[in-house]
Structure 1
Amino acid sequence: MKTKLTGRIVLPNDPEYPRARINYNLNLSKFPGAIVFCQNETDIVNALKWVRENNVPFRVRSGRHSYENFSLLNRGLVIDTSDMDQISVNVNDRTASIQAGSNLGHVYTTLWDYSMAIPGGTEFSVGLSGLTLGGGFGMLSRIFGLTCDNLISLRIAIPKGEKGAQIVEASKEKNSDLYWACCGGGGGNFGIVTQFKFRVHPISTVSIFTVEWDWEQLEEAFQAWQDWAPFTDPKLTSQIELHAKCKNLIIAEGQYIGSSDKLKKLIRPLVKHTKPRKIEINNVPFIKAVEHFNDPSGNIPSLFKRSGSFIYEALPPKAICIMKQFLAKAPNEEASIWQQSLGGAVKDISPKETAYYHRNAIIAQEYLTKWTKEVEARENIKWTEELRVALKPFIKGDYVNWPDLFIKKWPESYYGENFNRLRKVKSEVDPHNVFRFKQSIPPFDFSEGYFLS
């Protein structure tokens, strides 16, 4: 008997279809033939069986934030887990079981009810699944590690035989290679996660800071930040954003697990040789800090292009000058370069211990621009790509959660020396290459040309 789709199914002629099909990057709009919003593991297994039995192309989606819209496709089926967002917390064990459709806003607010937290990103609508599977860093990373470093186990639907599907559990003790691959190997490569189990951390109040400079101080401000941010107290994680010249704003922000008095001392190296126009430090409940760092505009679908890289050694003056030159001729005031400090607990784990390879990077760097009219796309995309190429001599790789189709040697860029092991896991878990998209990890029996199509 043929498998039937179950769950909440949305078709192109349904009133909710326009909203259901939208991802956050409107620049790469696509029109699936159907979207199934799974309500439980059975719906996920049925969907995976159905696409295999009917030879229908598909994508897996949770938070809708795939920069290149890898979680969307034309005509085929989107298997969406966002309706699965239940969370249960075990305070005694300091663990949380979180369904794969949960977004970060829901995770943070639910865990806060128990005075707990996990390290994660800052935009509330980002899906926990994609974040975790790609690694995941944010304002708790330097003290608690990546999101995936706090993952105890997961349940995941994978292919079975020629047409089937099954749910398996993966942890350090069980299906350990698959677990390793899911800690930084990227979403949509191996299966459909249904549930995570995380180690959570007690948290109460934190101290946050904001420092602003005029744009003309870009060199001095960035130099001070990069010399300080990756090497200061690991309880302090920070970010800096270099905005387009027309916006006249360089802004650094950060979060410290400790008192505001101690934070004032810790940020002295950042401000003592520069001339900030604003310095603000506050001690707040953790949930207020989370709300502070959440960028509401990042949760609204828009036309954008983003790319990224890692910084392993402090950028020399020449590279900083390149950034300033590009920001001086940015296509609009929304263009910026964003960096977050790494090191600390992120670096305490070796590059091969998890699939997330860039452990020794000191800074994660992202290039961002967005626009309002479709005719502006070419100019903005060109600016982003030319910036990335211009900085190439000074940076390494890219973060798999910031995918960029212009990166030709993406296996090395995202995964470094871990790519071959990831292909080995793929060959064992998904030998028929059921889960595939542009820049997906191929099993060994498939040629590069095949999996890139």
Structure 2
Amino acid sequence: MGQKRKKAGTGTQLTGRIVFPDNPTYNAARMEFNRRFSKFPRVIVFCKRTQDVINAVKWARERGVRLRARSGRHSYEGFSSVNGGIIIDVSEMNKVKVDRKNRVAHVQTGNPLERVYRKLWNKRVALPAGTAPDVGVGGLTLGGGIGLLSRKYGLTCDNLKQVKMVVASGRCGAKTIIVNKNKHADLLWASRGGGGGNFGIATDYTFRVRPISTVSIFSITWKWRDLEKVFPTWQRWSPSVTNRLTSTIEVAAKQVGTIVSTGQLLGGAEELRRLIKPLLQAGTPVKVKVQTVPFIEATKFFAEADLNLEPKFKITGAYGFKPLPREGVRIIRDFLSKAPNKHASVWSQSLGGAGSAVSRVAPTATAYPHRKAETIYELSARWRNDGEQQRNIQWVERFRKALRPFVTGDYVNFPDLQIKNWPKAYYGGNFARLKRVKRKYDPHNVFRFAQSIPVD
């Protein structure tokens, strides 16, 4: 199998690289990044061009087969896979074209971030996006897109000017539409933070990009005993510094025993040393690194933290609108001192504060509502053996509940199936408008999954 075209009786035929269960590549083709999920689709289509996507959507609709869109396979709750249905995989649609003069880039939806950064760097421009090198630009953008240029240049979705999307049409059809501020402006609004796979399958993005050359990066490591000094200091400091500096902090499980803060400044190393002084004076740093590097080297430095992770995980997220009180920091200490294994952690990134481009946008101006949050949290547990799964998932959920008095909502790109009122958590006051957009562009609810935006 795996041929270009598959006859399936009458009606639309699948095109692209087609993988059925009897194909030797099927097992690799069905795997998700999060190995906690192991689903068995009826067929996987690797699309090479937009017409392959249209044909796959039509094929699925004609046969009443459930479909899922997939790009980087990074959906934390396995939303981009399906048992017995069709996976429409766009990862082989990975062209990038840069128009430096007009400061725009045309990026196909299958590109992982590492490739986007590299192609843009060749023209000395950048797009504010995330740190994990193999995350697909598609899902990241549609859910918001946070990273180390966020405070200066906004979220990835804030830099989205146009999107090409395959949507369902009529009773069994599919078509491509161009979405920008002049055409289908309501769908552009929804595509800026409304989450991937809700309205159609995006195949192409046009982004505004920024000139970039060198940046300065820092990394500070402390021992675990400094938690009560370091974490509150970082939380007060990170939103108060210049918006040219975006930073993170990660507290590892007590078995590992480290706290690490990293960050990136659009500026020189000397200025960065001066700016991080409050952090250096908190507790007793055991390792400090500050240097100026080409921007592409900085992306590799931050990507390293995402390598060599355990294959199965449970992650949940939340937003902080003000620093955690002492009680909140104590909850972090208590949970990480009783972590299910050494691969658990709490990670946080600065988003808002002094002149931040994220918080300058109104909560209703895009579908992403968490504009006034100062920080975002990611609580995670990772494991290898299925016997550990229940313990790890329960630990994450108890941790989330314990922190609930001090944090709000969740990021749609950190989805969590345990969250009962997920529409409010992900979308806040924008949910009703998202439902209206859904009804208009996908009235038959073709694009649906466990936490997709409903039609009614």
Task: Please give the range of the TM-score, normalised by the shorter of the 2 chains.
Answer: over 0.9
C-alpha separation between the residues in 2 aligned to 1:219 and 1:18? 46
1:361 has 2:373 as partner: yes
Letter in 2 for 1:146: L
Residues 143 and 236 of structure 1 are in contact (CA less than 8 Å); yes or no, is this contact kept in structure 2?
yes
Instruction: Determine helix, strand or coil for the equivalent of 2:420.
Output: coil
Report matched runs for 1:101-250 at 5 Å: 101-250=110-259
Deviation at 1:300, TM superposition (A): 6.5
C-alpha separation between the residues in 2 aligned to 1:377 and 1:78? 26
Instruction: Provide structure 2 residue ranges, at least 5 long, that are not aligned to the other structure.
Output: 1-9
TM-score under structure 1 length normalisation:
0.97
Instruction: Provide structure 1 residue ranges, at least 5 long, that are not aligned to the other structure.
Output: 445-453
Structure 1 match to 2:12? 3
Deviation at 1:298, TM superposition (A): 4.4
Report matched runs for 1:372-383 at 5 Å: 372-383=384-395
Residues 131 and 299 of structure 2 are in contact (CA less than 8 Å); yes or no, is this contact kept in structure 1?
yes
Deviates more, 1:288-297 or 1:262-271: 288-297
Structure 2 match to 1:386? 398
Structure 1 match to 2:40? 31
1:412 has 2:421 as partner: no
Residues 124 and 299 of structure 1 are in contact (CA less than 8 Å); yes or no, is this contact kept in structure 2?
no
Instruction: Determine helix, strand or coil for the equivalent of 1:28.
Output: coil
Letter in 1 for 2:371: R
Letter in 2 for 1:56: V
Residues 103 and 125 of structure 1 are in contact (CA less than 8 Å); yes or no, is this contact kept in structure 2?
yes
Residues 224 and 271 of structure 1 are in contact (CA less than 8 Å); yes or no, is this contact kept in structure 2?
no
C-alpha separation between the residues in 2 aligned to 1:342 and 1:233? 12
1:66 has 2:75 as partner: yes
1:254 has 2:258 as partner: no
Residues 142 and 345 of structure 1 are in contact (CA less than 8 Å); yes or no, is this contact kept in structure 2?
yes
Percent identity, aligned pairs only, is 49
C-alpha separation between the residues in 1 aligned to 2:39 and 2:318? 27
Letter in 2 for 1:119: P
Instruction: Determine helix, strand or coil for the equivalent of 2:81.
Output: coil
Instruction: Determine helix, strand or coil for the equivalent of 1:356.
Output: coil
C-alpha separation between the residues in 1 aligned to 2:308 and 2:282? 36
Out of 265, 269, 276, the residue aligned to residue 267 of structure 1 is: 276
Residues 24 and 300 of structure 1 are in contact (CA less than 8 Å); yes or no, is this contact kept in structure 2?
no
Instruction: Determine helix, strand or coil for the equivalent of 2:300.
Output: helix
Over residues 132-166 of structure 1, what are the superposed CA-to-partner deviations in whole Å (9 max), with x where a residue is unaligned? 00000101100000000000100000010111011
Deviation at 1:273, TM superposition (A): 3.3
C-alpha separation between the residues in 1 aligned to 2:422 and 2:290? 40
Deviation at 1:219, TM superposition (A): 1.2
C-alpha separation between the residues in 2 aligned to 1:46 and 1:105? 29
Structure 1 match to 2:98? 89
Deviates more, 1:401-410 or 1:269-278: 269-278
C-alpha separation between the residues in 2 aligned to 1:405 and 1:114? 41
Instruction: Determine helix, strand or coil for the equivalent of 2:291.
Output: strand
C-alpha separation between the residues in 1 aligned to 2:215 and 2:78? 35
Kindly tell me: are residues 300 and 9 of structure 1, through their superposed partners in 2, closer, same or farther at Cα, counting changes over 3 Å? farther
C-alpha separation between the residues in 2 aligned to 1:99 and 1:406? 33
C-alpha separation between the residues in 1 aligned to 2:237 and 2:337? 25
Over residues 11-70 of structure 1, what are the superposed CA-to-partner deviations in whole Å (9 max), with x where a residue is unaligned? 111111111111111112111111000000100000011101110011110000000000
1:312 has 2:324 as partner: no
Letter in 2 for 1:380: N
C-alpha separation between the residues in 1 aligned to 2:193 and 2:294? 30
Letter in 2 for 1:369: A
1:436 has 2:448 as partner: yes
C-alpha separation between the residues in 1 aligned to 2:112 and 2:305? 14
C-alpha separation between the residues in 2 aligned to 1:291 and 1:76? 36
Structure 1 match to 2:334? 325
C-alpha separation between the residues in 2 aligned to 1:301 and 1:272? 34
Residues 186 and 400 of structure 1 are in contact (CA less than 8 Å); yes or no, is this contact kept in structure 2?
yes
TM-score under structure 2 length normalisation:
0.96
* Cα root mean square deviation, aligned: 1.0
Residues 211 and 253 of structure 1 are in contact (CA less than 8 Å); yes or no, is this contact kept in structure 2?
yes
C-alpha separation between the residues in 1 aligned to 2:229 and 2:440? 51
Letter in 1 for 2:383: W
C-alpha separation between the residues in 2 aligned to 1:299 and 1:353? 38
Over residues 339-360 of structure 1, what are the superposed CA-to-partner deviations in whole Å (9 max), with x where a residue is unaligned? 0000111001000000001001
Structure 2 match to 1:450? none
C-alpha separation between the residues in 1 aligned to 2:295 and 2:34? 30
C-alpha separation between the residues in 2 aligned to 1:329 and 1:422? 40
1:49 has 2:49 as partner: no
Letter in 2 for 1:433: N
C-alpha separation between the residues in 1 aligned to 2:125 and 2:70? 27
Give the count of matched residue pairs: 444
Deviation at 1:299, TM superposition (A): 7.5
Residues 142 and 237 of structure 1 are in contact (CA less than 8 Å); yes or no, is this contact kept in structure 2?
yes
Deviation at 1:295, TM superposition (A): 3.2
Residues 31 and 73 of structure 1 are in contact (CA less than 8 Å); yes or no, is this contact kept in structure 2?
yes
Runs of 4+ in structure 1 over 4 Å off: 296-301
Kindly tell me: are residues 301 and 326 of structure 1, through their superposed partners in 2, closer, same or farther at Cα, counting changes over 3 Å? closer
Deviation at 1:313, TM superposition (A): 1.1
Structure 1 match to 2:364? 352
